[in-house]
Chains A and B, each alone.
Chain A
C-alpha cells in the first residue's frame, strides 16, 4: 500500500531526475542492459545493439559511455580513466556527463568505485566481485586484421574457426621473431570465442583471466557489446611452445614511486612512470598492499629472449635429410569403406544448370560413376566442356545442387553422402580428409603469406598449435616438393609458377589427406616445369597410400599418373578402362579422336 509519505518521496526523486539531462531514454537503457546480459550469458560473443547517438564523438568512448549510462544509478560511484589517468580531458568530460545524467557519485580511488570506465588500461588494483569494469573499444572484431568480410568473420566465430589468427602469428614469428600484436592482443574467452580485449596492453590481459569482477566491453561505432563474466578463463592466443610475453623494459621502474611491478610508460626524458596515476600516488602515500600487488603482477610473463623462436634450433633447414626419417614413420593412407575396395566412390553424379532467360538448361554431368581405391590413381580425361571439371567441383563442394552420391571410406565408414554435407562440415572435410590441387596455385594458396605460412594455414586449421611442429612439418614437406628451404619464409607471391604449384602440392599433403584431387595440375606451366611437377606427383602418389583422382585434358598427364581412367564427353562417362588400354585400344569414336590428337 502506498502511503502519502512514500508517494511524496517518489515525487521528489522524479523531480530530481527530471532536472538532470537525459542522454539515454528508458528504452535505450533497457536495450543496452539486455545486450549486456546476453554478453554475460555468452562470454566473449559480440552482441549487436542499437548504439545511440551520445554527446561524444564516435571513437571517443561512445560505446563505453552507453554501457556505463545504462548501468549506473545514483547509488553508484563511477571512476573514469583514460590511459591510466583520470584527469585527461576526455576522462573528465565523460565523468561529468555520467555524473550529471545519472546522479551517481564519482571517485578517483579505484577501491571506492562500483563502475570503472576505462580506455586502454585496467587499474593496478585487483578489482572485486562488486565492481564492474567497462572498457571502451575502438575495434571489436579480433578477426578484422585477417579477414575483411563481416559475413566471413561471423562464420569463423560461429564455427570457432580461428586458424587464420594462428597463421598471422606464425607469419609474425618467422618475420620478426615475436608476435607483433601489442595492445588488443586476441584472447580466447571460455575456450570458445576469440575476443579483442580493447587495446589494453598485454600486461593487463592476465587480469581478465578468472577475474572476480565483471568486464563489459562496448564498441559504439560497430554497435557491439561483449563481456567477460567473473571467473571466466581468458587465454591470450599463442602457440603452445611460444611463451606469451608482456611489455617490459629490463631494469625499468617508476621515477616517482619506484614501482617495478606496474605497467610503466616512458617519458620524453627517457625515464619511466606508472601508467596508473592514482595507484602511483597511493604507493607514494603508502596506501597500497604492495605484496599483494606483486603477487598478481604478470612478472612470470616478462620477455625472455632465450625462450623466443629465434633461439630455437632450426638446423634442419640446412639439413632437411634429418626430417625425412620422421616422414617414413608417419604415412597414414586412405581408408577403404568396410567390406569395399574403394576409398572414394562416386555414383550417379548428375549436375544440371537450370535454364535461364536467354539460355537453355545444361546437363554438365550425367550419371557419372567411378570409384578409387587407396593407393590408386584414377584419371578423368576429356576435352574442355566435357564435364570433368564439373564432376571435380561437385566432389569438392564448390558446386552445389548436384544429385547422386559421393562417398569417402574414411567419412562415417563410407555411409555418408558428402554431397549433403553442410558448408561447415565440408570445410572440415577439406581440412583433413579431402585435398585439392588446383590448376591455378592462387586458388589453393594465399599468395600474400610465406610458403611455410601456407602450410601453417592447413596445419593450424587441423588443430596443430605447436610452432616447432609446424616449422618441422613445413620444412619437411617443402623439401619433399623440392622448394629450397632458404625460401621457406618468402612470400609465395614472389615464387615462379612451378614453385607455387609445388607449394600448393605440399599444402595439399600437409594433413595427410585420404583423398587427393588434382585438377589439371600441370596445365599452365612450361613444358620443362610441368615435367618436374609431374614427376613429383608420380613419386608422391607412389609413396603414399592415398586415393587420387587426376582430371586433365592431357593424355600424357593421365598416362604418367594413373593406372585406370574414365573418358568424359558431353557430361557422360563414355569409356572406362586401364589407362594404357584406353590409349592403345580406344573403342569410342570420341576416344579415338582424343588419342589421335594426343599422339600429336
Chain B
C-alpha cells in the first residue's frame, strides 16, 4: 500500500492588505510547500513573524490564502481510494463541515464560546466530530482529567481560569476524538513542567493513533522529542524541510535566533 500525504501544501502565498493604513501590504507566506503523512509529526520552526501560525491558519481557512493549493486527503493511510479535497477553493459550508470533523486546530489561546465551562467546551468539540452525546460527555471528562484539570473547574466559565488551564482545555478539545489532521500552535507554551509533561505525553500518543500533526513549538527539546520532521520557516518561506536530527544538527541561522 502506497501511502500518500494526508496534507499537501503547494505554492501557498498570503499577503495582507491593510486598508486602514493606506493599503499597506504585508507578505505573510510566500510559495510555501510541505507534506504531512498520516501518523507523522511535523514541527514548524522559525522566529516570531516567520509565518508559522499564518500557515496553520491558511490551512484551516481562518485566513484565506491568495494563491497555491492545500490538498487534504482524508483517505490517506486508510487503504480506501484517495479522496483529495482542495481546501483553498472549497465552499465555505463544506469547509465548515470539514473543520469540525477532519481538521483540528488548537490555537495558542483558547477561543471558547463566552460563558462556557471546560466540560461543555470539550464536549462540543467531540460532538462536532460526530461522537454520540453520551460518549462525548465521558470522553470530554477523560480528556480534561488526562490533562490535570481539577473536577471542580469543569463547569466554571473558561474565561476566569488561569492561562495554563485554558491552554490545557484548548488542547483537550483538540485531541478529544482526534481528527485525522491536527494543527497545533504552541500548545504547551504556558504550562508548568509537570503539566507540560502530561500534555506532551498525550500529543505523543496521537502519532501512535495515526493522527497527522503539524505543530509550532518554541522549544528545541520538544521538537527533538516529538517531531519526525522539521520545516524551518523564515520571512514567510520554507528554508529547510528535513528530518528532525538533520535540521537540529545543521547550523540554522534562523533557528539559532529563535531558540537560543
Whether B20 lies near A592 (C-beta < 8 A) is yes
Residues 22-79 (chain B) with a chain A CB within 8 angstroms: 57, 61-64
Whether A564 lies near B57 (C-beta < 8 A) is no
Whether B19 lies near A564 (C-beta < 8 A) is no
Whether B115 lies near A535 (C-beta < 8 A) is yes
Whether A576 lies near B92 (C-beta < 8 A) is yes
Counting CB contacts under 8 A, is B96 at the interface?
yes
Given contact pairs A584-B62, A596-B20, A578 touches B115 in the complex (Cβ within 8 A): no
Q: Which residues of B contact A534 (CB under 8 A)?
A: 114
Whether A564 lies near B92 (C-beta < 8 A) is yes
Q: Which residues of A contact B62 (CB under 8 A)?
A: 578, 580-581, 584-585
Q: Which residue of B lies closest to A341 (CB)?
A: B93
Whether B96 lies near A584 (C-beta < 8 A) is no
Counting CB contacts under 8 A, is A258 at the interface?
no
Counting CB contacts under 8 A, is B95 at the interface?
yes
Q: Given B57, B64, B114, which contacts A577 in the complex, CB threshold below 8 Å?
A: B64
Q: Which residues of A contact B114 (CB under 8 A)?
A: 531, 534-535, 560
Counting CB contacts under 8 A, is A587 at the interface?
yes
Q: Given B18, B20, B61, B93, which contacts A581 in the complex, CB threshold below 8 Å?
A: B61
Counting CB contacts under 8 A, is B113 at the interface?
yes
B222 to chain A, nearest CB (A): 26
Q: Which residues of B contact A593 (CB under 8 A)?
A: 19-20
Counting CB contacts under 8 A, is A376 at the interface?
yes
Counting CB contacts under 8 A, is A165 at the interface?
no
Residues 572-599 (chain A) with a chain B CB within 8 angstroms: 576-578, 580-581, 584-585, 587-589, 592-593, 596
Residues 80-113 (chain B) with a chain A CB within 8 angstroms: 92-93, 95-96, 113
**How many A-B pairs with Cβ below 8 Å?**
50
Q: Given A538, A578, A580, A588, which contacts B113 in the complex, CB threshold below 8 Å?
A: A538
A498 to chain B, nearest CB (A): 15
Q: Which residues of B contact A341 (CB under 8 A)?
A: 93
Whether A373 lies near B20 (C-beta < 8 A) is no
Q: Which residues of B contact A577 (CB under 8 A)?
A: 64, 92
Q: Which residues of B contact A482 (CB under 8 A)?
A: none
Give Cα A581 to B114, complex, Å. Answer: 19
A331 to chain B, nearest CB (A): 13
Q: Given B18, B63, B96, which contacts A564 in the complex, CB threshold below 8 Å?
A: B96
A589 to chain B, nearest CB (A): 4
Q: Mark A346-388, 1 if CB is under 8 A from B, else 0.
A: 0000000000000000000000000001001000000000000
Whether A373 lies near B93 (C-beta < 8 A) is yes
Give Cα A596 to B16, complex, Å. Answer: 15
Residues 288-319 (chain A) with a chain B CB within 8 angstroms: none
Give Cα A527 to B107, complex, Å. Answer: 27
Counting CB contacts under 8 A, is A563 at the interface?
yes
Give Cα A589 to B64, complex, Å. Answer: 16
Q: Which residues of B contact A587 (CB under 8 A)?
A: 17, 64
Whether B20 lies near A578 (C-beta < 8 A) is no
A593 to chain B, nearest CB (A): 7
Whether B63 lies near A581 (C-beta < 8 A) is yes
B132 to chain A, nearest CB (A): 13
Q: Which residues of B contact A581 (CB under 8 A)?
A: 61-64
Range, interface on chain A: 20 to 34
Q: Which residues of B contact A592 (CB under 8 A)?
A: 18-20
Residues 154-212 (chain B) with a chain A CB within 8 angstroms: none
Q: Which residues of A contact B95 (CB under 8 A)?
A: 578
Give Cα A208 to B221, complex, Å. Answer: 94
Give Cα A184 to B114, complex, Å. Answer: 56
Whether B64 lies near A531 (C-beta < 8 A) is no
Q: Which residues of B contact A589 (CB under 8 A)?
A: 19-20
B104 to chain A, nearest CB (A): 14
Q: Which residues of A contact B61 (CB under 8 A)?
A: 578, 581
Q: Which residues of A contact B113 (CB under 8 A)?
A: 538, 560
Whether B20 lies near A585 (C-beta < 8 A) is no
Whether B115 lies near A531 (C-beta < 8 A) is yes
Q: Which residue of A lies closest to B63 (CB)?
A: A585
Q: Which residues of B contact A560 (CB under 8 A)?
A: 113-114
Q: Which residues of B contact A580 (CB under 8 A)?
A: 62
A430 to chain B, nearest CB (A): 26
Q: Which residue of B lies closest to A562 (CB)?
A: B96
Whether A376 lies near B93 (C-beta < 8 A) is yes
A583 to chain B, nearest CB (A): 9
B233 to chain A, nearest CB (A): 19
Q: Which residues of A contact B63 (CB under 8 A)?
A: 581, 584-585
Q: Mark A313-347, 1 if CB is under 8 A from B, else 0.
A: 00000000000000000000000000001000000
Give Cα A373 to B94, complex, Å. Answer: 11
Q: Which of B17, B19, B57, B62 has the most CB of A within 10 A?
A: B19
Given contact pairs A535-B115, A560-B114, A592-B18, A578 touches B57 in the complex (Cβ within 8 A): no
B165 to chain A, nearest CB (A): 21
Q: Which residues of B contact A564 (CB under 8 A)?
A: 92-93, 96
Whether A585 lies near B64 (C-beta < 8 A) is yes
Q: Which residue of A lies closest to B94 (CB)?
A: A341
Q: Which residue of B lies closest to A376 (CB)?
A: B93
Q: Which residues of B contact A596 (CB under 8 A)?
A: 20
Q: Which residues of B contact A531 (CB under 8 A)?
A: 114-115
B28 to chain A, nearest CB (A): 10
Give Cα A248 to B179, complex, Å. Answer: 72
Give Cα A577 to B57, complex, Å. Answer: 14
A327 to chain B, nearest CB (A): 14
Whether A584 lies near B115 (C-beta < 8 A) is no
Whether B16 lies near A585 (C-beta < 8 A) is yes
Q: Which residue of B lies closest to A593 (CB)?
A: B20
Give Cα A581 to B58, complex, Å. Answer: 10
Give Cα A596 to B20, complex, Å. Answer: 10
A370 to chain B, nearest CB (A): 10
Q: Which residue of A lies closest to B58 (CB)?
A: A585
B212 to chain A, nearest CB (A): 22
Q: Which residue of A lies closest to B105 (CB)?
A: A580
Q: Which of B93, B95, B113 has the most CB of A within 10 A?
A: B93
Q: Given A535, A538, A578, A588, which contacts B92 in the complex, CB threshold below 8 Å?
A: A578
Residues 526-584 (chain A) with a chain B CB within 8 angstroms: 531, 534-535, 538, 560, 563-564, 576-578, 580-581, 584
6 intermolecular pairs with C-beta atoms under 8 Å apart: A531-B115, A538-B113, A560-B114, A581-B64, A585-B57, A596-B20
B: which residues have CB within 8 A of A? 16-20, 57, 61-64, 92-93, 95-96, 113-115
User: When A and B form their complex, which 6 residue pairs have the shortest distance between CB atoms, in order from nearest?
Assistant: A589-B19, A563-B96, A585-B63, A564-B92, A584-B62, A592-B19
Q: A376-B93, A578-B96 are in contact. List 18 more A-B contacts (CB 8 A).
A: A531-B115, A534-B114, A538-B113, A576-B92, A577-B64, A578-B61, A580-B62, A584-B62, A584-B63, A585-B62, A585-B63, A587-B17, A588-B19, A589-B19, A589-B20, A592-B19, A592-B20, A593-B19
